[in-house]
């Protein structure tokens, strides 16, 4: 996720302090990984340098947390471009798992166990997300559903690979 673009988007509704930005980010998007203050201030410094935000005011007391930031026209354009650009689909997990399965077969370890262990872990996380979804509001449900569908896709790959292990073993050991 692009933290810079997300913080910029949050600024579109009006100027905010760094602390408010962090809180808004964590409430909406930070379920798994809340932002560190350091990330907020380093990101805001970069956005400031690039002319995407300006300092709208500084409250008495000093320190970076007292700065109030406002988005610039260039910042608004940047958010619009980011939203209009599709994300690169990244089949990263399958690549790692594929490597593990092939290595297990090459070293005559249990490739089925690699897949089973991964399936259990995926399901454990899916249970956690399902519980969170049941206790959450619509925003929670949508975020959890997104993760659940991705995990489900991985699981389908795990099942299919499990069904093809003998063929794969014959191929890699040839």
Partner 1 sequence: MTTVPLLKAVGLTKAYGPTPALSDADFAIRAGEVVAVMGPSGSGKSTLLHCIAGIVRPDSGTLTYDGRDLTALSDTARSALRRTDFGFVFQFGQLVPELTCVENVALPLRLNGEKRKAAEARALEWLARLEVDPVAAKRPGEISGGQGQRVAVARALVTAPRVIFADEPTGALDSLNGERVMQLFTEASRDTGAAVVLVTHEARVAAYSDREVVVRDGSVRDTEWAA
# of chain residues touching partner 1 (CB under 8 A):
19
Residue 157 exposed, middle or buried by CB count within 10 Å (0-12, 13-18, 19+)? middle
Residue 142 exposed, middle or buried by CB count within 10 Å (0-12, 13-18, 19+)? exposed
Q: Which of 1, 80, 106, 123 binds partner 1 (CB under 8 A)?
A: 123
User: What is the footprint of partner 1 within residues 130-169 (CB under 8 A)?
Assistant: 130, 134, 148-149, 151-152, 155-156, 159, 162-163
Closest distance of CB 138 from partner 1, Å: 13
Q: Which of 28, 36, 120, 142 binds partner 1 (CB under 8 A)?
A: 120
DSSP structure class, residue 136: S
* Contacts for 45 with CB less than 8 Å, ≥ 6 apart: none
- Coil, helix or strand for 120? helix
**Taking CB under 8 A as the rule, does residue 119 contact partner 1?**
yes
Site residues (vs partner 1, CB under 8 A): 116, 119-120, 122-123, 126-127, 129-130, 134, 148-149, 151-152, 155-156, 159, 162-163
């Amino acid at each position: 996720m692009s933290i810079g673009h997300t913080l910029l988007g949050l600024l579109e509704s009006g100027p905010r302090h760094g602390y408010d930005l962090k809180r808004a980010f964590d409430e909406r998007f930070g379920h798994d990984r809340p932002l560190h203050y350091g990330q907020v201030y380093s990101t805001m410094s970069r956005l400031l340098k690039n002319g995407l935000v300006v300092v709208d005011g500084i409250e008495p007391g000093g320190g970076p947390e007292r700065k109030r930031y406002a988005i610039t026209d260039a910042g608004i354009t940047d958010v619009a471009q980011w939203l209009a650009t599709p994300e690169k689909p990244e089949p990263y997990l399958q690549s790692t798992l594929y490597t593990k399965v092939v290595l297990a077969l090459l070293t005559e370890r249990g490739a089925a166990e690699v897949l089973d262990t991964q399936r259990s872990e995926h399901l454990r996380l899916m249970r956690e997300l399902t519980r969170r979804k049941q206790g959450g509001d619509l925003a929670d449900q949508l975020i959890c559903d997104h993760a659940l569908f991705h995990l489900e896709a991985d699981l389908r790959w795990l099942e299919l690979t499990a069904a093809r292990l003998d063929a794969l073993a014959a191929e890699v050991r040839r």
